[in-house]
Amino acid sequence: MAFKSDVQATRFTASTSTVIIAPSVRLRGMIVASNGSGVGIVKLTTTSQAGQNLMTVDIPNGDVVSVYIPEDGIPFPKGIYVSTMTNVRAVTLLTDKYSGPGLTAGNPST
């Protein structure tokens, strides 16, 4: 599977009320690792932590799940927020390359 453009990898390890990725962006995929404490779930929203749910991923206990979204991905018009993150060690979001807050350290901003 080939992506249509450059991608940006952004990793986070906890649910937060602040935006994970601030600008409008398209989610191309994600990698989610369970923390081994039970079945996990991650819910991504736009606008705010309580905003519209655009992506939900269930993670089997003790597993790593890779999700790749075909075609142009899922647009998050007001950025990506995390409303729920249960029994998950870490999440890596694969998005269109962007410039703005939330870049993974060491990645270029343009």
**Least confident range of 14-23, 59-68, 99-108:** 99-108
Question: How many other β-carbons are positioned within 10 Å of the β-carbon of residue 8?
Answer: 21
108 confidence band (pLDDT: 50, 70, 90)? very low
Q: Is residue 108 part of a domain?
A: no
Whether residue 69 is contained in a domain is answered as: yes
- The dihedral region occupied by 49, where left means phi > 0, alpha psi between -120 and 50, and beta the remainder, is alpha
In a domain, 84, yes or no: yes
Indicate which CATH number applies to the domain containing 65.
Answer: 2.60.120
* Distance from C-alpha of 86 to C-alpha of 76, rounded to nearest angstrom: 22
Looking at residue 72, its pLDDT comes to 85
Share of the chain above pLDDT 70, in %: 84
pLDDT (0 to 100) of residue 75: 94
Q: Is 53's pLDDT higher than 80?
A: yes
Q: Which two tokens stand for residue 38?
A: 């039970």
Number of domains in the chain: 1
Q: Is the pLDDT of residue 110 over 60?
A: no
Residue 46 contacts residue 102 (beta carbons within 8 Å): no
Domain residue limits at 60: 7-96
pLDDT of residue 8: 87
